[in-house]
Chain A
Amino acid sequence: NAGVMQNPRHLVRRRGQEARLRCSPMKGHSHVYWYRQLPEEGLKFMVYLQKENIIDESGMPKERFSAEFPKEGPSILRIQQVVRGDSAAYFCASSPPGTVRGGYTFGSGTRLTVV
C-alpha cells in the first residue's frame, strides 16, 4: 500500500509563472490536507479538502492560491504568478473518513523554488 505520493519532488519556477503541485492520497483516504513549510520553520496549515469539496481553506492566501480534489485523480495545489516568497516545501497529508487518531500520513513534499 503506497503512502501519500507527491510530485514533483522539486519544482523550479520563474517569477510570474504558475506552479502546480500534485498529491495522491493513500488508498482508502478521502481527506487531503495541504501544509506549507518555510525553511527552519514548522508546518502551517493551508487547506483541507474532501472529494470535490473544500472544507477549510482558512490557511490559504487570499490571492493566487487555489486547491482542488476532484472526484477522479490527485489533489492539486495551484499557485499562480509565483513570487520569491512562495519558495517553500509544500506537504500533503491524507486521512480516512472519520476521526483522525494518530494524525495524518504525510507525503515527502514538493520543494518549490522561485527564481
Chain B
Amino acid sequence: GESVGLHLPTLSVQEGDNSIINCAYSNSASDYFIWYKQESGKGPQFIIDIRSNMDKRQGQRVTVLLNKTVKHLSLQIAATQPGDSAVYFCAENTGNFNKFYFGSGTKLNVKP
C-alpha cells in the first residue's frame, strides 16, 4: 500500500526564521499532494497543494517543492510566526480524489 512518511517528527525554529518540513512518499503513481496544518483540538486545514506535473508552487509565505525522482515533498514556511505552531501533514493521492494517504506528521514549535 501507499506509504507517506516524514523525516523529522519535531521541528523547533525561532520566530522569523524559515522552516522546512520534509515528507517522503513511496507510491510513484501519486500525482497530487496536499500539505495540511492541524492545530491542537482541530481538524486538518488545507495549506497548499501541488500536482505531479509541477516542481514548485508558491502561496502566501509557503512554498511546496516536489521531487518526483526521489519521491520527496517539502513545505517551506517563510518568516515563521508563533501562529504557525502546529502539526503539519503531507497527504498524497493517486488521482482518485476520494482518498488521501496521510503521513505521520511533523510538529512545528516556533519559539518567540
A residues touching B (Cβ–Cβ < 8 Å)? Answer: 4, 31, 33, 35, 40-45, 48, 55-56, 58-59, 91, 93, 95, 99-109
- Once the chains bind, are B104 and A107 in contact (CB under 8 Å)? no
- Once the chains bind, are B98 and A55 in contact (CB under 8 Å)? yes
Chain B contacts for A99, CB-based, 8 A:
97
Q: What's the Cα separation between A59 and B100 when bound, in Å?
A: 11
Q: What's the Cα separation between A104 and B32 when bound, in Å?
A: 13
Chain A: minimal CB distance from B12 (Å)? 17
- Once the chains bind, are A103 and B46 in contact (CB under 8 Å)? yes
Q: A33-B98, A100-B97, A107-B43 given as contacts; is B49 within 8 A of A43 (CB)? A: no
- Once the chains bind, are A43 and B89 in contact (CB under 8 Å)? yes
Q: A41-B104, A42-B103, A43-B89 given as contacts; is B98 within 8 A of A56 (CB)? A: yes
Contact of B100 among A31, A45, A55, A58 (CB under 8 A): A45
Chain B: minimal CB distance from A99 (Å)? 6
Residues of B within 8 Å of A, CB-based: how many? 21
* 11 other A-B residue contacts (CB within 8 Å) besides A42-B89, A102-B46, A109-B43: A4-B43, A33-B98, A42-B104, A58-B99, A59-B99, A91-B43, A100-B97, A103-B34, A104-B100, A106-B44, A108-B42
Q: What's the Cα separation between A99 and B95 when bound, in Å?
A: 9
Chain B contacts for A93, CB-based, 8 A:
43
Q: What's the Cα separation between A107 and B45 when bound, in Å?
A: 9
Q: What's the Cα separation between A102 and B97 when bound, in Å?
A: 10
Contact of B41 among A41, A56, A108 (CB under 8 A): A108
